């Protein structure tokens, strides 16, 4: 099936010649370094002429396939969200391009090409470096408040979806494909994101001070009363 390659901000013309019809096994055989793999998503590092991360989505369900016809394939929707967040000053990976079949009919794959960020997700940071819990909690509370301030609801704010860069200065929001900009952003959305973070943190850390530090940072940055989220 022929694929359309739409480049964003980068003139990586060599991307047009990659074997986009490959399945995950063929990508791995060709040299892809697997980062994450599931039935519907395959994320890998590709050296190429310039290093990139590539996310391969597979439209398995008929509902997803119809949605692709109506509002665009998932990779294109995520690229739009990333670009909007970056314009609002939210640290996210830069999208380099979108690859989709000309006629997305049936269980076909589509791709998002991303900036190859280097670092560790927060679940790994907290589990492996407990001494960094307090500064991480501060950064995470502030970042979530910033996302909510621009009206963004992430939908899956578990700690795996935040990346601390190698310098440990910048915290990135990643895997934003399920998020959107509801009008308006309600307290329900805020509480759900906070709850997802706390629940995820409890899976790798039992330190209640970490939770309190995160909640305080979020409440201060978002300008909401701490008791509004204390019940979580």
Confidence bin at 67 (pLDDT 50/70/90) = low
Confidence bin at 60 (pLDDT 50/70/90) = low
Confidence bin at 196 (pLDDT 50/70/90) = very high
Q: Which residues pair with 56 in a beta bridge?
A: 42, 111
- The predicted model gives 36-63 an average pLDDT of 86
Confidence bin at 62 (pLDDT 50/70/90) = very low
Residue 105 CB contacts under 8 Å (≥ 6 apart), including other chains: 65
C-alpha 177/C-alpha 154 separation (Å) is 8
> Is residue 123 within 8 Å of 60, Cβ to Cβ?
no
Q: Which residues pair with 99 in a beta bridge?
A: 5, 111
Q: Residue 102: its pLDDT value, please?
A: 81
Query: Is 0.85 topped by the overall pTM?
Result: yes
Which of the following CATH numbers is that of domain 3-114: 3.30.200, 3.30.70, 1.10.3470, 1.25.10?
Answer: 3.30.200
Angle, CA 9 vertex, CA 7 and CA 14 arms, to 5°: 45
pLDDT tops 90 at residue 59: no
Confidence bin at 203 (pLDDT 50/70/90) = confident
> Is residue 4 within 8 Å of 21, Cβ to Cβ?
no
Confidence bin at 65 (pLDDT 50/70/90) = low
Q: Tokens standing for 159?
A: 């700690």
As a CATH number, domain 119-230 is 1.10.510.10
Q: Residue 104: its pLDDT value, please?
A: 63
Comparing 59 with 96, the larger pLDDT belongs to 96
Domain ranges, ordered by start, for the chain: 3-114, 119-230
Q: Residue 232: its pLDDT value, please?
A: 55
> Is residue 226 within 8 Å of 215, Cβ to Cβ?
yes
Q: Residue 145: its pLDDT value, please?
A: 97
Q: Torsion over CA of 53, 118, 133 and 221, rounded to 10 degrees?
A: -70
- The predicted model gives 161-181 an average pLDDT of 95
Candidate from 9-23, 32-46, 54-68, 97-111 with smallest mean pLDDT? 54-68
CA distances from 112 to 62, 100, 156, 165, 179 (A): 21, 9, 19, 21, 16
- The predicted model gives 204-217 an average pLDDT of 88
% residues pLDDT > 70 (the chain): 91
Q: Residue 231: its pLDDT value, please?
A: 57
> Is residue 146 within 8 Å of 90, Cβ to Cβ?
yes
Quick check: bond before 184 cis, omega within 30?
yes
């Amino acid at each position: 099936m022929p694929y359309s390659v739409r480049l964003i901000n980068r003139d990586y013309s060599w991307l047009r010649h990659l074997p986009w019809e490959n399945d995950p096994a063929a990508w791995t055989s060709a040299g892809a370094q697997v980062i994450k793999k599931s039935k519907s998503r395959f994320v890998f590092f590709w050296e190429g002429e310039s290093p990139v991360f590539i996310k391969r989505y597979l439209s398995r369900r008929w509902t997803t396939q119809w949605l692709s016809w109506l509002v665009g394939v998932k990779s294109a929707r995520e690229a739009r969200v990333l670009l909007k967040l970056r314009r609002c000053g939210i640290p996210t990976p830069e999208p380099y391009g979108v690859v989709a079949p000309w006629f997305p009919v049936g269980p076909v794959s589509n791709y998002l090409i991303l900036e190859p960020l280097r670092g560790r997700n927060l679940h790994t940071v907290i589990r492996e470096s407990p001494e960094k819990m307090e500064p991480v909690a501060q950064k995470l509370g502030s970042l979530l408040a910033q996302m909510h301030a621009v009206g963004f609801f992430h939908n899956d704010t578990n700690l795996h979806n935040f990346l601390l860069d190698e310098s440990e200065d910048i915290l990135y929001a990643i895997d934003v494909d399920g998020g959107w900009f509801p009008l308006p952003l309600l307290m329900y959305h805020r509480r759900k994101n906070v709850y997802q973070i706390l629940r995820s943190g409890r899976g790798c850390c039992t330190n209640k001070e970490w939770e309190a530090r995160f909640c305080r940072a979020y409440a201060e940055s978002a300008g909401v009363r701490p008791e509004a989220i204390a019940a979580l």
